Amino acid sequence: MSEVQTVENMVSITIDGVDYKAKEGEYILNAARANDIFIPAICYLTRCSPTLACRLCLVEADGKQVYSCNAKVKEGMEITVSTPDILAERRAMMEVYDVNHPLQCGVCDQSGECELQNYTLELGVDSQSYTIQDTKREATNWSSVLHYDPGLCIVCERCTTVCKDMIGDAAIKTTKRGGEALDKAWKDEMPKDAYAMWNKLQKSVIAPSNGTEHTNCSDCGECVAVCPVGALVSRDFVYTSNAWDLKKIPATCAHCSSGCQIYYETKPASIEDRTEKIFRVTNEWNYVSLCGAGRFGYDFENRTATKDATTFAAAVKAFKKAKVINFNSVITNEEALMLQTLKEKLGVKLINREARAFQRFLGFYSEASGQSLYSLDFKEVMATDFVMSVGSSLRNDNPNARYAFNNVQKLNKGAGLYFHPVGDTLVPTFGKNIEMFAHKVGHEEAALLFIIKLFADQDKLPSSVKEQLDSDFVELLGGDTAKFEKSFEKMMKKKESFSLMVGEDLYFHEKAENLAKLIAVLEASSEVKVAMIPPKTNSLGVALICDLDDEAEGYTIGYNESGDFKLSALGDGDLDMPAMNQQEGTLTNMHKRVTPTNAALEYNGYVLNDIVREVASAPKETIMWTEHLPVSKGFKAVEFDSLPNHYTNDGVEHRGYLLESTSVEVEEISVDKFDDSNALEGEIAYRCNPQRQFNDFSDKAHQIFEGFGLYTSPAKAEALSSKVEVEFANGKLTLDVIVDERMEGDIVAIPDFKSAENIYELFAGSRYQTVTIKEV
Amino acid sequence: MSLEQFKNRNVGTQNYKTLDLDHTPVTGMGQFKQVVSRTFKPELFVGLWVTFREMINALFRGKMHTTQYPFEKLPISPRYRAIHDMLRLLESGHYRCIGCGLCEKICISNCITMDTQYDENQRKEVSEYTINFGRCIFCGYCAEVCPELAIVHGPRYETASEQRASFSLFEDMLTPIDQLNLQQEYQGFGAISPNADENIKKTPLAY
């Protein structure tokens, strides 16, 4: 979507007699939408494959009736949106959708934003010609968050489509309704497409695809977001509010580095309590997909804060004597800039473990490649047709990276290579052309060398790399050479664009520098372009803005982290700070985009800006720092209030601005020799969060249930008791064993979302550590 | 969507205007003069004469104009808009309100609020409902918009109370269950018109 629209790839089309330009290969529906022409459509989702369930998007193209969601534009195509025949079809279809659909809109959660209501009015349906006996369909709860009322369902299949094409869980499917068969007499009486649509509708209903009553999925709630009617609603939200009562606050999700566009929807909590409360989170689901943490982990606000002058004075005093500020990446760019200012003026040291690791890695990469930032954003990754992932637990680390990997398989007829020591049963189900390598911990260099061997132009390689390419990497990485060669040939068919996503494992790797160099070599010598997954929310922003330190000692201020004086947005520190849903500012996300976020809820306490004003100097408002973000690092000197925050109909993102990447010429890269004896052996623990947990804030939210424990594969769990003691070289933990059904292999995962547990210290600068697991 | 509302951070300044009134006298002499001039104007005697004339008419000529309120009350129109009533379904006795929130939305003085929830019968339950009678202007929109004829204006115009809140909760407005047989159908705004049957098309049913 961000690709430049050149004259060559544009074609001319005519819609209702007016000339328009459209992207070549675009569906008619999308081309019309991009030109602000309205074609009715219910079942189509941008970024997913057409399902042809609703058939409303029927148009006439060059004299023939086609479905505009499924037919591509051609040069000189003449399109008519509505002919008398098509209008009759559409009217009949809407009447069919209204057959047996309950008319008590008053109680429905979707009322006011319901597409069935809208289209019934739009197409002027004021009488009903069709009838069939209703089938008893009872409301059920699919999971801890999903509520499905089949009585309201119009089987547009948007939920199943998004779950398969975008999310990758494919946890729901259409199944038999067991309803009355359609009277054949209708076939002659009613328009053809409307009959076909009704015939299918009458037979189906949505159900979990595993055959049970409950979905086995990541509980992202994207199905709830796309549902055009009130059939799918989150359990927490059912019947609690009408759409029009909620105030939408455009914001950026603060849980991971995806930085997704969200709206916090608020209204007063109840009749007694008139303080604003977030009732739900919604998104522009045609252009962005959320994960479960983003959608359901929204009530992490700090309610305890008050303006208490004595604690504030204590905080100012603490800042004056502070030697170190220990913070994490759940922080806005503005606050990061304040901390950097404190460092410059007061000489404090700044500690942020995850951002520091990423900063070092990005630095090594820039030195080797000459580019200040990685090449691709994740929307561009989604547009490629061959995607690879190294060093990231795709399912857990970052939902957007996972959605991109899946979407490439489903929509671009793509292929994928997934390298990760922890086996996964979900990733291979994304597509037919996926090879998974559950390699040994410490063999990440081999994975990159293998990719170089597969894709690089041998002549462009530096000699230090070339001489390492002779080994049999497939064997080394735990695959079968003969089998792989055969499948790789199939994977490479008709592939044009290649992308590689790299993750946190590499940033915390002891050979990080060498890995960064290998990535630069790969980019310089092949068509593969790289995207990096910043480890936590604003790690990229912090890495660019702050001059971070590796080690520091002395009086420490902890900002949402441990310290001698603790600032906390969780309400458990010495001085309260606003949580991310209570402050405005900008975040830098993995798409290299600086996005604005607004305050959804009231906050009554002090903010970091107040402290900085006392100990150094600061402007009146936090957001006045926005225009001072370092231009030399790619930021722009623009005011916060002038940042846009929306998508246009053609899917172009207008949220904040993109970081500028600068490039310089570099000399030939020399890489170290890979040593395959460095692999970690024995019982290994991996620092990795469960799917909907990212930090203390997601943990605080009442709809996020994933606990703090030892996550293992089902096979491994059998060998362990229900509670174990995990012993590290420098400490130990007692944890409950939690089975993650989609994990494979013997490596166990220990989450880091609770900052109080000091997991980073136990892992001592790495993501993998050998441990001893004992029963208790 | 527009971001304007998020850019206004001046929550502390209000735009009050003071009225331009006559100055109150401050000196003792000034106050004295004002009292004298107000007391001895001839209008006083005109008023006294009217009162005296009507007293004679009422007492001796049998021409009484006033109603002996509160012992007598004048009949009021069915379209009169007084304190709201919440009606029940005659068959089941369940309250009619479905919690659709249309009254809340249409209320031009923003005085209706309701809390709803998912109840154990999988239905939308109105857990709390309140009208702020300090703000209500009795415009009747809520009764007009109600799709269930649940909220209506009742005939109860005597609204003197220690607290206005005494009328404002769901239970206060709801027809008492033991008086269900006395419940009157409302004839005012929002009631079904006498020719309603002629105006609707019927939906075919399969049974």
Q: Which residues of B touch A584 (CB under 8 A)?
A: 6
Taking residue B177's Cβ as centre, other Cβ atoms within 10 Å add up to: 10
Separation in Å, CA of B93 to nearest CA in chain A:
19
A111 CB near a chain B CB, below 8 Å? yes
pLDDT recorded at residue A3: 45
Instruction: Give CA–CA dist A728/A176, Å, rounded.
Output: 52
- Does residue A300 form part of some domain? no
Per-residue tokens: A764 = 């001592």
Are the beta carbons of B100 and A249 separated by less than 8 Å?
no
| Alpha carbons A705 and A494: distance in angstroms, whole number | 43
166-205 of B, contacting A, C-beta below 8 A: 201, 203-205
Residue A192 at interface with chain B, using a CB cutoff of 8 Å? no
Residue in A419, A423, A418, A384 with CA at minimum distance from that of residue A404:
A384
Task: Inspect the interface and report whether the beta carbons of A131 and B205 lie closer than 8 Å.
Answer: yes
Asked if B116 and A641 come within 8 Å (Cβ–Cβ), the reply is no
User: Final residue of a domain: which of A510, A532, A554?
Assistant: A532
- Please give chain B's pLDDT, 207 residues, in tens: 677 878 877 766 677 787 877 778 889 999 999 888 888 888 888 899 999 999 999 999 988 888 888 898 888 888 889 999 999 999 999 999 999 999 999 999 999 999 999 998 888 999 999 998 888 999 999 999 999 999 999 888 888 888 777 777 888 889 999 999 989 888 887 788 888 888 888 888 877
Report the alpha-carbon distance of residue A200 to residue A520 in Å, rounded: 52
Whether residue B101 and residue A133 make contact (CB cut-off 8 A), yes or no, is no
**In a domain? residue A429:** yes
Pairing of strands A731-739, A723-728: antiparallel
One domain for residues A711 and A759:
yes
Residue A6: per-residue pLDDT: 53
What does the DSSP assignment read for A309-328? HHHHHHHHHHHHH-SEEEE-
Q: H helices within A210-350, ranges in order?
A: 222-226, 292-296, 309-321, 333-346
pLDDT, residue A4, reads 46
Residue B70: cis peptide before it, omega within 30 degrees of 0? yes
Residue A422 lies in a domain: yes
Per-residue model confidence (pLDDT) at position A1: 40
Is the residue at A450 inside a domain? yes
Give the closest residue to A221 by CA, choosing from A704, A740, A708.
A704
Q: Could you tell me the CA-to-CA distances from A497 to A298, A311, A492, A529 in Å, in that order?
A: 37, 56, 10, 9
Are residues A768 and A731 located together in one domain of the fold?
A: yes
Q: Give me the residue label for tokens 């050149």.
A: A6
| Under 8 Å between Cβ of A324 and A347 | no
The answer on A515 and A622 residing in a single domain is no
β-strand A748-750 against A743-744: which pairing, if any? unpaired
Q: Let me know: does A376 contact A533? Beta carbons within 8 Å.
A: no
Same domain, A118 and A240: yes
Pick the residue from chain A with its C-alpha nearest to B114.
Answer: A271
Pairing of strands A146-148, A140-141: antiparallel
pLDDT at A420: 96
Q: Do A239 and B201 touch (CB under 8 A)?
A: no
Say if residue A368 is in the same domain as residue A478.
Answer: yes
Tokens standing for residue A686: 């991996």
Block means of pLDDT (10 residues each) for chain A, 776 residues, are 57 95 93 95 95 94 95 95 95 95 91 95 92 91 95 96 96 92 90 94 94 94 96 95 94 95 96 94 96 96 92 95 95 97 95 96 95 94 96 94 96 95 95 94 95 94 92 92 93 94 96 95 95 96 96 94 94 94 96 96 94 94 95 96 94 95 87 88 95 94 95 94 93 94 94 92 92 92
- The closest CB to that of B1, out of A139, A250, A271, belongs to A250
User: pLDDT value at position A548?
Assistant: 96
- For residue B113, list chain A residues with Cβ-Cβ distance below 8 A: 268, 271
C-beta of residue A260 within 8 angstroms of C-beta of residue A292: no
**Is A188 found in the same domain as A222?**
yes
Is the CB of residue A349 less than 8 Å from the CB of residue A325?
A: yes
Q: pLDDT tens for residues B120-155? A: 888 899 999 999 888 899 999 999 999 999 999 988
A729 and A590 fall within a common domain = no
Is residue A132 within 8 Å of residue A99, measured between CB atoms? Answer: yes
- CATH code for the structural domain at B84-192: 3.30.70.3270
Please check whether residues A58 and A181 belong to one and the same domain. Answer: no
A30 belongs to a structural domain? yes
Residue in the structure block whose two tokens are 């790495």: A766
CA–CA distance, A230 with A447 (Å, rounded to integer): 47
Whether residue A82 contacts residue A40, with contact meaning beta carbons closer than 8 Å, is answered with no
Contacts of A416 (CB under 8 A, 6+ apart): A386, A387, A388, A389, A405, A408, A409, A427, A430, A431, A433, A434, A435
Of A504, A532, A560, the domain-final residue: A532
In angstroms, rounded to a whole number, what is the distance separating the alpha carbons of residues A201 and A241? 29
Residues A90, A67 share a domain = no
Q: Give yes or no: residues A475 and A412 share one domain.
A: yes
Phi, psi of A491 (to 5 degrees): -60, -35
* CA B101 – CA B145 distance, rounded (Å): 10
CB contact under 8 A, B6 and A129: no
Q: Are residues A398 and A524 in the same domain?
A: yes
Q: Are residues A454 and A468 in the same domain?
A: yes
Kindly state whether residue A259 falls inside one of the protein's structural domains.
no
Count CB-CB contacts under 10 A for residue A547.
Answer: 11
Determine contact: B3 vs chain A, CB below 8 A.
yes
CA atoms within 13 A on the CB side of A75: 5
DSSP B9-52: ---S--------PPPPP-SHHHHHHHHHHHHT-THHHHHHHHHH
A602 close contact with B: CB closer than 8 A: no
Contact A548, A475 (CB under 8 A): no
The H or E element that residue A378 is part of is helix A378-383
For the CA atoms of A562, A393, A701, A226, the dihedral, rounded to the nearest 10 degrees, stands at 150
Nearest CA in chain B to A129: B204
Q: How far is A236 from chain B (nearest CA, A)?
A: 9
Residue A107 touches chain B, beta carbons under 8 Å: yes
CATH classification of the domain holding A733: 2.40.40.20
**Alpha-carbon span A210 to B9, nearest angstrom:** 51
CB contact at 8 A, A746 and A489: no
Which chain B residue has the Cα nearest residue A105? Answer: B100
Chain A residues with beta carbon closer than 8 angstroms to that of B171: none
* Cβ–Cβ below 8 Å for A107 and B1: no
Query: For residues A720 and A490, what is the distance between their CA atoms, to the nearest angstrom?
Result: 41
Which domain CATH number covers A27?
3.10.20.740
Domain harbouring A499, CATH code: 3.40.228.10
Q: Do B6 and A131 touch (CB under 8 A)?
A: no
| Per-residue DSSP letter, A609 | H
Shortest CA distance from B111: residue in chain A:
A271
Distance CA A444, CA A505 (A): 9
Q: Write down the pLDDT at residue A668.
A: 83
Q: Which of B130, B119, B115, B200 is nearest to B171 (CA)?
A: B130
**A281 belongs to a structural domain:** no
State how far the Cα of A760 lies from the Cα of A16, in Å rounded to an integer: 62
Nearest to A239 among B124, B128, B130 (CB): B124
B197-205 long-range contacts, CB within 8 A, separation 24+: B201/A126, B201/A127, B201/A128, B203/A127, B203/A128, B203/A131, B204/A128, B204/A129, B204/A130, B204/A131, B205/A131
Kind of pairing between the strands at A498-502 and A386-390 = parallel
Residue A569 lies in a domain: yes
Q: Is B11 on the interface with A (CB under 8 A)?
A: no
**Half-sphere exposure of residue A671, counting CA atoms within 13 Å on the CB side?**
33
Contact B98 A107 (CB under 8 A): yes
Residues of chain A with C-beta less than 8 angstroms from the C-beta of B201: 126-128
Interchain proximity A271–B206, CB inside 8 Å: no
Query: Among B146, B154, B165, which Cα is nearest to B99's?
Result: B146
Give the total number of structural domains in chain A. 5
Q: Which residue has the tokens 């939308």?
A: B124
The residues with which A206 forms a beta bridge, in sequence order, are A174
Domain final residue pick, A82, A104, A126: A82
Contact B124 A105 (CB under 8 A): no
Q: Tell me, yes or no, if B130 comes closer than 8 A to chain A by beta carbon.
A: yes
Provide the 8-state DSSP code for A165.
I
CA distance B121 to chain A (A): 11
> Which of A239, A261, A279, A624 should we substitute to test contact with B (largest number of B Cβ atoms within 10 Å)?
A239
Angle between helices A84-98 and A115-122 (to 10 degrees): 140
Q: Rounded CA gap, A29 and A15, in Å?
A: 11
B124: contact with A, CB 8 A cutoff:
yes
B164: burial class by Cβ within 10 Å (0-12, 13-18, 19+)? middle
Q: What is the pLDDT of residue B15?
A: 76
Contact A539, A257 (CB under 8 A): yes
Give residue A771's domain range.
680-775
Give yes or no for a contact between A318 and A326, defined as CB atoms under 8 angstroms apart: no
Residue of A nearest to B5 (CA): A249
Whether the CB of B134 is below 8 Å from some CB of chain A: the reply is no
Angstrom distance (rounded) from CA B124 to CA B96:
12
Q: B87-96: long-range contacts at Cβ-Cβ below 8 A with a sequence spacing of 24 or more?
A: B87/B149, B87/B150, B87/B151, B87/B152, B87/B175, B87/B183, B87/B185, B87/B186, B88/B174, B88/B175, B88/B177, B88/B180, B88/B183, B90/B180, B90/B183, B93/B177, B93/B180, B95/B126, B95/B150, B95/B170, B95/B174, B96/B148, B96/B149, B96/B150
Residue in A249, A271, A621 nearest the CB of B9: A621
Q: What are the structure tokens assigned to A770, written together?
A: 């050998």
B110: closest CA of chain A, how far (Å): 12
Chain A residues in contact with B100 (beta carbon < 8 A): 105-107, 111, 242
CB contact under 8 A, B147 and A239: no
- Alpha-carbon distance A220 to A228, whole Å? 17
Q: How far apart are CA A394 and CA A504, in angstroms?
A: 11
